[in-house]
């Protein structure tokens, strides 16, 4: 399909307008103060008196429709190098709050890179995910490699032992994530060593029992593996409320030929930086906040995910004095994942949720492969998430019995997970089963 064809539904939606549902109206209200700081953003999401538009309001965004039409007619270069680029830079440099230092060159030099996926095998299933600069794929696979050594068959779903094991495994994997993972174009990330099965065995020995591995877990020393030659990096109308997250969105698709797609997109916070490019109708992200805010650890060692390093020191929006590198990408946690079984498509899955994304996707994969839950149940059931610290449990699991048992084992426990896992599974009967997360009013469609 041509760019024009692909953009047409979005152009129509922006031109005809979309209705604010209850979820979105809450999100606008929760962010009204930030939105009000930027006149162009306020003009779209607040009424003339500065109040959030209520549920039921139709938002028309002609500026955005015009932006898409311009891209459709002139091609994507108008965004990175043409008049839209100039307006983006102007909006950043002249923002009334926290103006940034983005320059035209930053956009002109930006490249989307085709990267090799990371992969592991989990109990006979081939799992593929996104490589650096997201920590999502590699950390997820480290969790699976660790869990593979545990006999989950003997741990009932939701039992104290199962929850303890899932939490310990996530904590151990997160120690290495936090230490080593960052944009591999700027720091060396030993992905092969981190995903080595022997290394997983070594790290698994930290989990001697069902008691809590004391956190924060120290990072390990992944082995250096001889590398093989690296491969070159080289519409339809739906009558429903708009339920798309305004910050991070995931969708999974499997088509009739069993081609699978798993896509996560993010502008980081709700409404991103809250800077809407005047006259262009779109928000700018605040993805830079996915960098570490510290440049060095307590021992003075540089932090892999700091916006700094040895290559091409220069300034960024974080400060003129910082020895920062233009072009370094912040570490993400997005974990769009594809799974094959015996060489055939099995599952596409992913979620929004910041650094909890990794745990969400991990839980759902374990629910499907180890506990043989149907895909919708695997998405629905409460989740256990840990990031080299305490455990967060979905409220339904937050019972006195379980939390008491976990506390006695040395875990600190809180409730309050969210996430919005979207998955498609190719069933043993050859049918496609879609599951949308009830936590976020999603819906699975077949057509």
Structure token pair of residue 334: 């997005």
Which residues does 228 contact at the CB level (< 8 Å), separation at least 6? none
Q: What angle do CA 104, 108, 109 make, to 5 degrees?
A: 115
Distance between CA 95 and CA 100 in Å, rounded? Answer: 8
Which of residues 286 and 316 has its CB atom nearest to ligand DON in the complex?
286
**In terms of Cα–Cα distance, which of 100, 143, 67 is closest to 370?**
143
Restricted to residues 93-152, the positions that interact with ligand DON (CB under 6 A) are none
128 to each of 138, 144, 145, 266, how far by Cα in Å? 9, 12, 13, 20
At closest approach, how far in Å is the CB of 106 from ligand DON?
A: 19
Restricted to residues 158-187, the positions that interact with ligand DON (CB under 6 A) are none
Question: Which residue matches tokens 């082995």?
Answer: 223
Cis peptide before 216 (omega within 30 of 0): yes
| 353 binds ligand DON, rule: CB under 6 A | yes
* Options 354, 359, 405, 442; binder of ligand DON; rule CB under 6 A: 354
* Options 287, 323, 373, 382; binder of ligand DON; rule CB under 6 A: 287
Which of residues 26 and 62 has its CB atom nearest to ligand DON in the complex?
26
Which of residues 303 and 334 has its CB atom nearest to ligand DON in the complex?
334
The stretch among 106-114, 352-360, 375-383, 402-410 that binds ligand DON (CB under 6 A) is 352-360
Which of residues 57 and 441 has its CB atom nearest to ligand DON in the complex?
441
Site string for ligand DON, 355-374 (x = CB under 6 A): --x-----------------
Question: Which residue matches tokens 């230092």?
Answer: 101
At closest approach, how far in Å is the CB of 205 from ligand DON?
A: 30
* Options 196, 268, 394, 437; binder of ligand DON; rule CB under 6 A: 268
Which of residues 132 and 152 has its CB atom nearest to ligand DON in the complex?
132
Distance between CA 13 and CA 155 in Å, rounded? Answer: 49
Which residues does 430 contact at the CB level (< 8 Å), separation at least 6? none
* Options 137, 272, 350, 352; binder of ligand DON; rule CB under 6 A: 352
At closest approach, how far in Å is the CB of 273 from ligand DON?
A: 12
* Options 131, 248, 380, 422; binder of ligand DON; rule CB under 6 A: 248
Catalytic residue (choose from 138, 165, 246, 248):
248
The stretch among 41-49, 147-155, 176-184, 348-356 that binds ligand DON (CB under 6 A) is 348-356
Distance between CA 165 and CA 170 in Å, rounded? Answer: 9
Restricted to residues 288-317, the positions that interact with ligand DON (CB under 6 A) are 290
At closest approach, how far in Å is the CB of 271 from ligand DON?
A: 11
Query: Could you give phi then psi for residue 392, rounded to 5 degrees?
Result: -110, 130
**How many CA atoms within 13 Å lie on the side-chain side of 163?**
27
Distance between CA 177 and CA 32 in Å, rounded? Answer: 34
The stretch among 229-237, 353-361, 373-381, 396-404 that binds ligand DON (CB under 6 A) is 353-361
At closest approach, how far in Å is the CB of 439 from ligand DON?
A: 11
At closest approach, how far in Å is the CB of 96 from ligand DON?
A: 24
3-state SS class at 355: helix
The backbone region for 228, taken as left when phi is positive above 0, alpha when psi lies in -120 to 50, beta otherwise, is: beta
Restricted to residues 325-344, the positions that interact with ligand DON (CB under 6 A) are 332-334
At closest approach, how far in Å is the CB of 177 from ligand DON?
A: 12
Query: Could you give phi then psi for residue 261, rounded to 5 degrees?
Result: -135, 135
At closest approach, how far in Å is the CB of 334 from ligand DON?
A: 5
**In contact, 307 and 328? CB cutoff 8 Å:** yes
Dihedral sign of CA atoms 302, 304, 310, 312 in order: negative
3-state SS class at 347: strand
Distance between CA 436 and CA 423 in Å, rounded? Answer: 7
At closest approach, how far in Å is the CB of 121 from ligand DON?
A: 25
Question: Which residue matches tokens 């990031």?
Answer: 387
- Size of residue set near ligand DON by CB under 6 A: 13
Which of residues 84 and 334 has its CB atom nearest to ligand DON in the complex?
334
Which residues does 74 contact at the CB level (< 8 Å), separation at least 6? 82
Structure letter (DSSP) for residue 51:
P
Which of residues 367 and 417 has its CB atom nearest to ligand DON in the complex?
417
* Options 266, 308, 337, 403; binder of ligand DON; rule CB under 6 A: 266
**In contact, 315 and 101? CB cutoff 8 Å:** yes
Active site residue 392: no
List residues near ligand DON by CB under 6 A: 247-248, 266, 268, 287, 290, 332-334, 352-354, 357
Active-site residue numbers?
Answer: 248
């Amino acid at each position: 399909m041509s760019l024009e064809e692909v953009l047409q539904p979005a152009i129509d939606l922006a031109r005809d307008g979309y209705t604010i549902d209850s979820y979105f109206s809450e999100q606008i209200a929760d962010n009204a103060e930030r939105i009000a700081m930027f006149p162009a953003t306020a003009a779209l999401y607040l009424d003339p008196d500065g109040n959030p538009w209520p549920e039921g309001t139709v938002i028309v965004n002609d500026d955005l429709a015009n932006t898409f039409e311009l891209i459709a007619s002139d091609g994507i270069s108008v965004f990175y190098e043409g008049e839209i680029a100039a307006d983006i830079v102007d909006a950043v440099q002249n923002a009334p709050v926290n103006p940034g230092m983005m320059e035209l060159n930053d956009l002109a030099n930006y490249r989307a890179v085709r990267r090799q996926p990371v992969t592991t095998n989990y109990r006979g299933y081939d799992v593929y995910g996104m490589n650096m600069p997201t920590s999502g794929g590699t950390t997820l696979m480290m969790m699976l490699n660790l869990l593979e050594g545990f006999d989950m068959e003997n741990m009932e779903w939701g039992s104290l032992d199962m929850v303890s094991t899932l939490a310990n495994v996530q904590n151990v994997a997160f120690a290495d994530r936090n230490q080593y993972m960052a944009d591999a174009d700027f720091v060396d990330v030993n992905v092969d060593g981190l995903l080595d099965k022997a290394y997983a065995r070594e790290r698994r020995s930290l989990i001697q029992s069902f008691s809590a591995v004391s956190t924060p877990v120290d990072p390990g020393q992944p082995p250096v593996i001889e590398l093989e030659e690296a491969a070159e990096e080289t519409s339809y109308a739906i009558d429903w409320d708009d339920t798309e997250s305004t910050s991070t969105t995931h969708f999974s698709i499997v088509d009739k030929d069993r081609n699978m797609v798993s896509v996560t997109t993010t502008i980081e916070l709700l409404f991103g930086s809250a800077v809407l490019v005047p006259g262009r109708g779109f928000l700018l992200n605040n993805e830079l906040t996915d960098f570490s805010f510290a440049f060095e650890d307590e021992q003075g060692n540089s932090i892999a995910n700091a916006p700094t390093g040895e290559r091409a020191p220069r300034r960024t929006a974080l400060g003129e004095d910082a020895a920062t590198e233009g072009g370094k990408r912040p570490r993400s946690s997005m974990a769009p994942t594809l799974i094959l079984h015996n060489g055939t498509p099995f599952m596409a899955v992913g979620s929004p949720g910041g650094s909890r994304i990794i745990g969400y996707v991990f839980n759902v994969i374990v629910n499907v492969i180890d506990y043989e839950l149907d895909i919708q149940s695997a998405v629905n059931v409460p989740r256990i998430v840990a990031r080299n610290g305490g455990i967060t449990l979905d409220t339904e699991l937050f019972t006195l019995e379980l939390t008491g048992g976990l506390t006695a084992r040395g875990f600190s426990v809180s409730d309050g997970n969210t996430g919005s896992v979207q998955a498609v599974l190719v069933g043993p009967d050859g049918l496609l089963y879609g599951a949308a997360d009830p936590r976020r009013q999603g819906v699975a469609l077949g057509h």
